Each structure stands twice: as structure tokens, then as C-alpha cells.
Amino acid sequence: MGHLEHKNNIKAKKLLSVYVITLSDTRTGSSDESGDYIKERLLSVSHKVSGYKILKDDKDLLENLIVEICKEGAKPAVDAVIINGGTGVSFKDITYETLRDLYDKELYGFGELFRSLSYNEIGPSAIMSRASAGIYNDKIIFSIPGSLSAVKLAIDRIILSEIGHLHYEISKHLP
């Protein structure tokens, strides 16, 4: 079966439950445009937002939250997690290192594609993005920069078109 047949497979069109995390030392619920955009776009295509949290840029806080929401039997159950923020090159940007140590499988192509598309918009500065995606405990995790333009690029050009297909592929072995 080719990639188009996979994407059109009814099982790949399942509506997913997605947890949204904003990693920031400065954003609040009223100033998190990127988190709001992610939630709005998920809902606009009928996915469910199962949770939302703003966390400080802290490795332990992020790791503990990911482990908690992705554990078997977690309530509410999640299929995927989208994290925005903390993907840059400054010392406080810890998202990539935290997730790299958790991923069961890293999806290298996501970061490569994001940086390629980003290059078309912002030029060579795209190399400073450490966007990534991977699988942890049978959940899809996307990590994207926190700027609104980067969030729009990732959500609209990559994530929404592939999240169902990814979920289908990693769920084939599940009961």
C-alpha cells in the first residue's frame, strides 16, 4: 500500500486526543498566542485537546509531565503531544535534550523538513531550530519552536496532514 492509500485509510483518519504544552518563562494563559493557535487548529479539524499547560523552561518539569501524560492508563488518555518553545540554542532551551532522552524512536525527518520549510521563510537562521518529533510509549510527540510563525508553519504544513497517519502506523501493534 502506497503513502496515499495509507493516508486515506479510514483508520488513519481517527480523531486524536492531543495534549498541548507551551514551554516559556514569560508566557501566561492570556499571552500564549502559539499555544492558542495550536489548540484552535486542532479543534478546527475535530481533534480533541485533552490538556494544556504552560511550563517554565525546566528539564525536570517537562520530563515529569511527559512521563505522566504518556503513561499507560493516564486520564485523560492522549494520542499525541505538541510542545512549543525551548527548541533554540540558548542555554535555557532544554526541550530537545529532554525529549531525546525519552524518545523510543526519533522521527528525524520531521526536524529536517521543518528546517527546510523554515529556511524558505527565514533563510539560514533556520539552522538554530532544534524542532524534533518522536515516539514515546506509543504516543507521538512533536516539539516545535514557540514563535507564532514557526507554530503556524509546523501545524499547517506538516503536523495536521501527518498526525493521523503517524498514529495509524504506531498503533498497528496495539490491541
CATH class of 18-23+30-167: alpha beta
Residues 43-66 pLDDT 10s: 999 999 999 999 999 999 999 999
Q: What confidence tier does 9 reach under pLDDT thresholds 50, 70, 90?
A: low
Residues 60-118 pLDDT 10s: 999 999 999 999 888 889 999 999 999 989 989 999 999 999 999 999 999 999 999 99
- Locate the domains of the chain by residue range: 18-23+30-167
Q: Contacts for 40-48 with beta carbons within 8 Å, 24 or more apart?
A: 41/155, 41/156, 41/160, 42/18, 42/82, 42/160, 45/160, 46/15, 47/15, 47/16, 47/17, 47/18, 47/163, 48/15, 48/16, 48/17, 48/18
pTM over the 0.85 mark = yes
